Amino acid sequence: MKRIALVVSFILAVGLLGLFIWGQYQLATHPYAKHQVQGIADASNDPLPLRPDAHLALTLRPDDPFPFPIAVGEPGPAVALYAGARQYPFFCMTMNSGLGQPLVDNWAGEGVPVFREEKGEITEDVIGYSRDCMLATAIQYWYVDAKGQVRPYDLASPPVGVGQVSLGEQSIPEIYRVETGTINRFPYFIVMLADPGAPREDARYWDRRLIYQFHGGSGIGFRQGRLRPQRLIEKRLDQLRRGYAVISSTGNKTAYTYNMLLAEDTALRVKRQFVSLYGEPKYTIGIGGSGGGLVQYLLMQNGGGVIDGGLALYAYPDMLSQTLYGLDCDLLNTYYAFRADEPELWQNFDARPSVEGLNAVAGFDQRAPFLEPLNQLIRGQWPYWPKGSSECINGWFGLSALIHNPKQGYLRPMFSERIQEQQHWSYWEDLHQILGRDEQGFARSTWDNRGVQYGLEALRAGQLTPRAFLHLNQRIGGWVESGEMEPETLWAPFGKLLPLWLTLWGNHNIHDGEFARRTEGDPVAIERAYRAGQVFLGYNPLPVIDLRHYLEDQLDMHHLSASFEARARIRSWHGHHDNQLIWVSHKGYTPLAEAFDAMERWIEAGQGGKERPSDLEDLCFDQAGEVIAIGEGVWDGAWNGRTNGVCTERYPVYTNARIQAGGPWQGAVFQCHRIPVTQALAEGLYQPAPMAAHRAELERIFPDGVCDYRRGDAARPADLNPWTLGLTLPQDLRNDVERDGQTVADGTAQYEQVPDRVGVGEPLGGIK
């Protein structure tokens, strides 16, 4: 037996060594490794970002001195017009988009190496470096063959078997001209039907309608992004066949940045390039999912004129308020796995939504369930196999490290080890020119959980005992300060491409102790985020269809409650939601054709979307594409305090951890107003739960008080409301308000008292 054990141990050891060597080989030969960023450039002479005094929607954008259109063979502008200095390090990804190597712009080792090419092959000889990843503007052609496949079209050797497309009364070969180049260092794309070899400015098949394609994903900057022309054509093929033109940029893909000032600056310039070549479109429709949905809410709110209406797919109102409950997820996961005094209670995944709000399902398979018992063993705890999963796990795993931890960085080898170690990496760092830096040089963060009573609604409903509620809030803690964070401990026998997380849920970066400390957000960062248009206030001047599949049963992070979070803000701002429709479908049916038709008719009705056709209403679809219900009230439910509508009954709406802590549906409470525990008890905050006997313990857990969500966000600038901004008031009423000196101190409940006086108006300031 001993000999067998030795043989088995030897085989396992050799196998692990082999896997380790294989993993390191895979890492070294990864396509990114050869093009790693070697040196960081200096952008200190670049212009500062636009700093609004009141709000970005009231701020004039500067005139653009760049001489559009960009000539073929020349790169576009590298420095943003008003979004601030270039971000370095910056990883070039033109190779990954099939666009070739970037242009050499220095020989000082700044950026990525550029290699000599011979007969179409890249050699090992470095001919220079590229810090800004620029491309020469170029024209290429793609066609759709008789089988419906999108393929490259070679002018020198025209392919046989090009498909035909009917455009009006004529039938033409289905060939698309694709213009590529870089603007603000991001690859951009212009696509339309065209005759191969026709002049660049020829637009005979364009019907004057334009689509701006946005894209989603979770990213923290520092890389250029990739978008393949073939994929863009395939995504919008139905509209291109109808004569639309499509424009896009990797700068409008949130997998690469959530900086909405940079996203707007880039989108405006891409559209300016298009208009300089082909003239103003009749209208521009935005479309994009997830982050590509939320950017539409913000672009329409903030002005600038990029789009005239939006199809916001799987959208959130904005990224910043999503992080509030998103970063709660790993606090809760850490508590369940490592700190709970009743771990068996939290192994009932069906009970977790009462605290998390987001869905959780017993028996649902996790992607890597072995990580939890492995980490429990490492901590000296008795291990147990998880008995289900949640959206917090299935949707948010690893994102807290990427978004919030400045010491983590990317796992793929885009940057040299030296740069990886010296750079701060986080979502906050991507926004540091807007949010600012603290005294230690780290980007300021807006995330705060002081006074948050996790599971308060479950306590009130009798789903959580006082003991469980108290222990949860005593031990859950908050994220440590940026300067104290450490990278995840990863065991990577397969290379960093497949790491094993030995600090699961980022637990080593969460305050611990008998009464674990909470996290304070930076009020300077919060105010700047509000004023710079990074937060959706609810100002909704243009039509938007908030469209999504129902994915709650899949524990997908694109939860339905986000649509109603946006709606609650819109109603709070305007007193109605006339410019927002919510459409939800079974995942087996995608009503995009109906959505495009609806948006076209809505925009063409005029008045900035205010003349919505009477047949366009909220609705929901079944798997066959049949409308289940349509009309006002079909989405009534907990979000507006009414009995569930037909669509809500068919597609139940979950919440999030902040709503379950007593917060409002509209979210965006970055720092709650706090009241003493004695006042909370006196005002019945916990009723009907018998918490008076636990006053002393509550005061130890919350020495600075508990959240009073009735008063909104304590860090929101008092002037950000319709009355003082004038964003939604008719001019005569604005004059009355200014003359009488009337103001509203808080941008939530107070002006809801006069919804009949609030209408959809035009932004002030003559935005360019």
Lowest-confidence pick of 81-90, 166-175, 232-241 = 166-175
Q: Model confidence over 605-652: pLDDT tens digits?
A: 976 667 899 999 999 999 999 999 999 999 999 999 999 999 999 999
pLDDT digits (tens, 9 = 90+) for 190-201: 999 999 989 999
- CA atoms of 768 and 764, how far apart (whole Å): 11
Among the listed residues 295, 330, 294, 450, the one whose alpha carbon sits nearest the alpha carbon of residue 402: 330
Q: Reply yes or no on whether the pLDDT at 739 is more than 70.
A: no
Rounded mean pLDDT of 198-222? 96
- 477: tokens are 């803690």
* Predicted local confidence at residue 754, as pLDDT: 24
Which two structure tokens, joined as six digits, stand for 614? 């009477």
Q: What is the mean pLDDT of the chain?
A: 90
Note the pTM of the prediction, 2 decimals: 0.91
Q: Are 198 and 272 in contact (CB under 8 A)?
A: no
What is the rounded distance in angstroms from the CA atom of residue 411 to the CA atom of residue 492?
A: 11
What is the predicted pLDDT for the residue at 625? 97
Name the more confident of 734 and 259. 259
Segment (H or E) for 527? helix 523-531
* For range 494-503, the mean pLDDT: 73
Structure confidence at residue 304 as a pLDDT band (50, 70, 90) = confident
Record the tokens describing residue 711, joined without a space: 């008063």
Looking at residue 24, what is its pLDDT? 46
Alpha helices, H only, 405-455: 417-422, 427-430, 432-435
Between 508 and 490, the more confident residue is 508
| Pairing between β-strand 150-153 and β-strand 170-173 as defined by DSSP bridges | unpaired
**Model pLDDT, residue 6:** 53
Looking at the predicted structure, is the pLDDT value of residue 3 above 70?
Answer: no
Per-residue confidence (pLDDT) for residue 34, from 0 to 100: 81
- SS in 3 state form for 323-369? HHHHCHHHHHHHHHHHHCCCHHHHCCHHHCHHHHCCCEEECCCCCCC
What is the Cα–Cα distance from 666 to 721, expressed in whole angstroms? 15
Q: What's the average model confidence in pLDDT over 661-673?
A: 97
> Given this model, what pLDDT does residue 763 score?
29
Confidence of residue 2 (pLDDT cuts 50, 70, 90): low
C-alpha span between 352 and 359 (Å, rounded): 8
pLDDT at 9 over 60: no
Distance CA 391, CA 654 (A): 11
Q: Give the tens place of pLDDT for each residue, 426-453.
A: 999 999 999 999 999 999 999 999 999 9
Instruction: Look up residue 282 and give its two tokens.
Output: 């009749």
Per-residue model confidence as pLDDT tens digits over 333-391: 999 999 999 999 999 999 999 999 999 999 999 989 999 999 999 999 999 999 999 99
Q: Which residues pair with 114 in a beta bridge?
A: 128
pLDDT at 724 (0 to 100) = 82
| pLDDT reported for residue 741 | 33
Alpha helices (H) along 631-689: 646-650, 657-660, 677-682
Exposed, middle or buried by CB within 10 Å (0-12, 13-18, 19+), for 682? exposed
Question: What are 381's two structure tokens?
Answer: 């705890």
pLDDT band for position 740 (cuts 50, 70, 90): very low
